[in-house]
Structure 1
Amino acid sequence: MTTVQPIIVTPDLDRLQAFYERLLGAVEVIRFPGDGPTFFVNLKLGDSELGLVNEAATDLSAPQRILLSVRVDDVDGLLEQAGAAGGRVLGPSTDMPWGERVAHIHDPDGNMVNLTQPLQESAG
């Protein structure tokens, strides 16, 4: 079995962890090391995992090349909460022709996050 786990390197692990916990309900499952300054935290989000690595020298001004796409139950509801959780909303949500409602946000480090929700088939 092959799986992929995104890992985000951040200069402020506590801030970024709080964002994903507050906005998406992430739950910490592993912290390394268990005592002393934390290097790595593994978060569980539904059936997925997201790793956070604490690295003080991370350059947040470097161009982003990875997009984190997260399927959620209510894009519009989370979009309203993103700013209060520490993120930045980049615009309104949009219904896409491939059958998803999508909203674009930045997490507190400026990483691009797409919130996606399947559109319901209209009865007709």
Structure 2
Amino acid sequence: MAVQPIIVTPDLDRVQAFYSQVFGAVEVFRHPADGPVFYKTLKIGDGELGLVAEKVDVSAPARIVLSIGVEDVDAALPLVEAAGGRVRGPANDMLWGQRVAHVFDPDGNPVNLTQEL
């Protein structure tokens, strides 16, 4: 059994580029294989992220947060803005043993960058 988050986006290429540039995401599946793409699966580390191309109001508040582990949170932060995302603030060390930074992807979806301390 596995859980796969799926992002619905009006700009599939822009969102895919963000996750590729910041997290090294690699496309492993697309549907349809030819022509305009409706769905893609990206591999990020051991996990997968789905992307669906659909007109959607990206100004609506998000109700889920993606948490993605990285080797170095502080080194990843400059990549976020360079890839079209937004950094909410500096990284912080948490009591449970992680360094965490809160960012937004280009559609405004919240993403936590986490690093084990």
TM-score, structure 1 normalization: 0.93
Structure-to-structure mapping, 1:47-58, within 5 angstroms? 47-55=46-54, 57-58=55-56
Equivalence for 2:57 = 59
- Identity rate, percent: 66
Inter-partner Cα distance in structure 2 for 1:97 and 1:80: 24
Report the Cα distance in structure 2 between the residues aligned to 1:4 and 1:102, rounded to whole angstroms. Answer: 22
In 1, the alpha carbon distance for the partners of 2:79 and 2:52 equals 24
Query: Is 1:89 paired with 2:87?
Result: yes
Deviations 1:81-120 (A, max 9, x none): 110011100000000011100000000000000000011x
- AA paired with 1:32? H
* Per-residue deviation, 1:33: 0.2
CA shift, 1:22, in A, is 0.6
The question of 1:46 aligning with 2:33 is answered no
Distance 1:92 1:79 in 2: 8
| Unpaired stretches in structure 2, ≥5 consecutive residues | none
Identify the residue that residue 25 of structure 1 maps to in structure 2: 24
> Which amino acid in the other structure matches residue 93 of structure 2?
D
Q: Structure 1: which 4+ aligned runs deviate by more than 2 Å?
A: none
Aligned Cα root-mean-square deviation (Å): 0.5
Match of 1:122 in 2: none
Q: Are 2:41 and 1:15 equivalent residues in the alignment? A: no
What do the CA deviations read for 1:23-74 (whole angstroms, capped 9, x no partner)? 100000001001111000100011000000000x201111100000001101
Between the two proteins, the alignment pairs up a number of residues equal to 117
Whether 1:78 and 2:44 are equivalent positions in the alignment is no
Larger radius of gyration: 1
Residue ranges of structure 1 left out of the alignment (5+ in a row): 120-124
TM-score by length of 2: 0.98
